[in-house]
Amino acid sequence: MRLNAQTDFSLRIMMFLAVRRDVPTTIPELAGRLGLSRAHTMRIVAKLVGKGLLASTRGRHGGLALADDPASVTVAQVVRAMEPDFAIVPCLHTKEARDCSIEPACRLKGVLESAVVAFLGELGRHTLADLVEANRTPLEQVFHLDRPYATRGCAVRPTSLIEALTGGVG
- Report if residue 60 sits inside a domain: yes
Q: How does pLDDT run across 27-59, given as a tens digit for each residue?
A: 999 999 999 999 999 999 999 999 999 999 988
In CATH, what number is assigned to the domain containing residue 71? 1.10.10.10
Range of the domain at 51: 5-83+127-163
Q: Is the dihedral of CA 40, 125, 159, 62 positive or negative?
A: positive
What is the separation, in whole angstroms, between the first and last Cα of the chain?
A: 30
Residue 99 is assigned to a structural domain of this protein: no
pTM value is: 0.81
In this prediction, residues 7-26 reach a mean pLDDT of: 94
| Residue 64: pLDDT over 80 | yes
Task: Judge whether 97 and 91 are in contact, CB under 8 Å.
Answer: yes
Number of domains in the chain: 1
Residue 95 has pLDDT above 90, yes or no: no
| 93 inside domain | no
152 in any annotated domain: yes
The mean-pLDDT minimum among 18-22, 82-86, 89-93, 112-116 falls in: 89-93
Which residue in 18, 7, 36, 5 sits closest to 131, CA to CA? 18
Distance CA 168, CA 164 (A): 7
72 found inside a domain = yes
Q: State phi, psi for 164 to the nearest 5 degrees.
A: -65, -40
